[in-house]
Amino acid sequence: MYRNVSLRLTLSKDEWISVLRLATFWYFLKYRQIAISELQRVGELTSTDKITYGKEFKIQSWVEEGCSELVKRNHTIDKQEALTIGYDITFVLFGIRERHLRGVLASHAVASAIQESLKDELDVIKQFEIEYKVDEVDVEFSPPINSSGSSTGQTSPIAFDNVCRKNRKKHIWLDG
């Protein structure tokens, strides 16, 4: 009786970022993954976008890709990009870029140098990513029991509320 329906939303980059922001905040993990996939598919993220949003939404691969792109491109990081990604990361990237341009660091070794130089920050992001990879379909709710001890056949709103509250507490704890 039920049919699978496929639907693709056509949203702008800013709209997908909003979806990602809300899905991350509320732990709507399926929607978070959809937003990430769509932003990657459309390919409108700049190098600085990848770093900024990768840090904000805890997506390690975006931070690494954005850093690598800035190091390997033909022109240097400009003032606005440095302000956007932060001076700490900018200085690290300038050092890696300098070694790369002098030929001390081969192209294939840039990613490793970035991972090594930004290890602490990337480790924090990785911990969050683990939290966000929890598959929400694995959460099962037991139906409420009526006074006779049998199931009412309805999903318990209390169980759902407890799961949401538990995830929100984790989110607050990890942010603080």
Domain count, the chain: 2
Q: What domain range includes position 79?
A: 45-138
* Region 12-40 average pLDDT: 95
Q: Is 143 helix (H, G, I), strand (E, B) or coil?
A: coil
With a threshold of 0.85, does the pTM exceed it?
A: no
Q: Are residues 120 and 51 in the same domain?
A: yes
C-alpha to C-alpha distance for 161 and 11, rounded to whole angstroms: 30
pLDDT digits (tens, 9 = 90+) for 73-118: 999 999 999 999 999 999 999 999 999 999 999 999 999 999 999 9
Q: Are residues 50 and 134 in the same domain?
A: yes
pLDDT digits (tens, 9 = 90+) for 107-166: 999 999 999 999 999 999 999 999 888 454 433 334 445 555 554 554 434 344 444 444
Q: Are residues 79 and 150 in the same domain?
A: no
As a whole number of Å, the end-to-end CA separation of the chain is 48
Amino acid at 60: Q
**Averaged confidence pLDDT in the chain:** 82
